[in-house]
């Protein structure tokens, strides 16, 4: 593995810009409803990256968290 510089991008601003173009008010509302979770997970990712522990991120499937399993074809 090698280190890469983290881009200077604010998660909240990026998320707001992305959902700002959604025309469907229901979808935009649902996206706004998960905004804080996106920000929280981004902060968690950053914290794990800082200490080289990204491998500890859990995979999410059908509302249940599972340890990440890599499958190769």
pLDDT in tens, 4-63: 787 888 999 999 999 999 999 999 999 999 999 899 888 888 888 888 887 777 766 555
Residues 6+ apart with CB under 8 A from 3: none
Predicted model pTM: 0.67
Q: What pLDDT sits at residue 60?
A: 63
Q: Which two tokens stand for residue 59?
A: 């995979």
Q: What pLDDT sits at residue 53?
A: 81
> How far is it, in rounded angstroms, from Cα 41 to Cα 26?
23
């Amino acid at each position: 593995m090698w280190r890469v510089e983290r881009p200077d991008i604010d998660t909240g601003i990026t998320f707001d810009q992305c959902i700002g173009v959604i025309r469907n008010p229901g979808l935009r509302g649902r996206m706004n409803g998960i905004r804080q979770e996106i920000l929280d997970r981004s902060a968690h990712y950053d914290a794990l990256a800082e200490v080289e522990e990204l491998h500890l991120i859990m995979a999410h499937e059908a509302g249940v968290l599972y340890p990440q399993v890599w499958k190769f074809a």
